[in-house]
Amino acid sequence: MSEGKPAFVLVHGYWHNSGCWSEVVPRLQARGFEVATLDLPGAGVNAKLPASFLKRPLDPAAFAVEPSPNAAVTQEQRTQAVIDLIRSLGRPVVLVGHSMGGATISDVVEAAPESIAAVVYLTAFLLAPGAPPISVITHETMAAAIVPSLFAADPAVVGALRIDPRSADPDYRARLKDCFYGDVSDEVVAEIAPTLHCDEPMSTALRPSAVTAARFGRVPRHYIRCTEDHAITLAGQNHMLALADSALGGETIVHTLQASHSPFLSQPDELTDLLASVAG
């Protein structure tokens, strides 16, 4: 890997894990970049699963009320895990966050701007100072988002945003695909969906963004819009961009893909081209 190039750190979003980057990592490496990924606390190998989720056929009533064993995971833990990874690389990084990974990378940039060459939001939560993710999730620009229709429990009851990625219900499976993987082949979706975890701690959706113009605002920021995204609508993406630029000053550099929520699977070549251009 070239010592003169920044490394990439890729951060997944809600319900996903580091495996979502499997098509992008080797493409970036082939261009001479060092690439690091991780399973955030509470995700992937670190996810704690409710017992009712593991019993099939699913008992929907039990699944709807069992408290989440993942509820205690905090945004601070996730932020620190990424900071630790970046520091282990010993060089500036291009920090990329997908979906709710945006909330994590924003906090990382605020905490360690000197370590970040550029930050990239891949159809992700780019939040204005003091804004919690829930303020975007419930905004009118997100009215067409499919994610809420996937919730299998009241977050106030279980302490988590809970979905069922292993559902056997054809209608539910179709909605999950349309939400996250609209332009991904059925074969790939059949492989990746069962690897998702079911619970994301509600506290991470309620935590206000800690970014400031003085620290976060000094790092070049990029946003990759996905026009066919049914998890974070295009209107929602544009809404976040407008609020962030107004509050932080400067202007986010915007790129656009005609893709669903998961271009790392459906358009890995195009996404790699964009990321490599950001790294220069």
Asked if residue 165 lies in contact with residue 198, where contact means CB atoms within 8 angstroms, the answer is: yes
Q: Do residues 127 and 209 make contact, with C-beta atoms less than 8 angstroms apart? A: yes
pLDDT digits (tens, 9 = 90+) for 225-251: 999 999 999 999 999 999 999 999 889
pLDDT of residue 2: 60
> What are the tens digits of pLDDT across the range 30-82?
999 999 999 999 999 999 999 999 999 999 999 999 999 999 999 999 999 99
Residue 272 pLDDT exceeds 80: yes
Q: What is the pLDDT of residues 110-121, one digit of tens each?
A: 999 999 999 999
pLDDT band (50, 70, 90) for residue 88? very high
Residue ranges per structural domain of the chain: 7-279
* Percent of the chain surpassing pLDDT 90: 97
Question: Do the bridges between strand 253-257 and strand 221-226 make them parallel or antiparallel, or are there none, so unpaired?
Answer: parallel
Tokens describing residue 140: 């009118």
> 185 exposed, middle or buried (CB, 10 Å; 0-12, 13-18, 19+)?
exposed
Q: Please give the mean pLDDT across all residues of the chain.
A: 97
Answer whether the bond into residue 129 is a cis peptide, omega within 30°. no
Q: Alpha helices, DSSP H only, in the chain?
A: 24-30, 51-54, 60-63, 75-89, 101-111, 133-137, 155-158, 170-180, 186-192, 202-206, 234-248, 263-266, 268-279
HSE, CB side, 13 Å, CA atoms: give it for residue 209: 30
Residue-wise pLDDT for 145-161, tens only, equals 999 999 999 999 999 99
Both tokens assigned to 169: 């219900």
Among the CATH numbers 3.90.1150.10, 3.40.50.1820, 3.40.50.300, 3.40.710.10, which is that of 7-279?
Answer: 3.40.50.1820
Residue bearing tokens 């969906």: 193
Summarize the confidence of residues 176-201 as an average pLDDT: 97
Name the nearest CA neighbour of 29 among 226, 268, 189.
268
pLDDT at 84 over 60: yes
CA atoms within 13 A on the CB side of 128: 18
Q: 212: which 2 tokens?
A: 């400031």
Provide the pLDDT for residue 7: 98
- Euclidean distance between CA atoms 66 and 121, whole angstroms: 33
Whether the predicted model's global pTM rises above the 0.95 cut: yes
Which of 44, 113, 117, 126 has its CA nearest to residue 78? 44
Please name the amino acid found at residue 122.
L
Give the pLDDT band (50/70/90) at residue 130. very high
Report which DSSP code applies to 179.
Answer: H
Alpha-carbon gap, residue 19 to 94, rounded angstroms: 19
Looking at residue 280, its pLDDT comes to 87
Render 22-48 in DSSP notation, one character per residue. Answer: TTHHHHHHHTT--EEE-PPTTSGGG--
pLDDT at 1 over 60: no
| Mean pLDDT value across residues 92-105 | 98
Residue with the two structure tokens 């804004």: 131
pLDDT over 70 (residue 164): yes
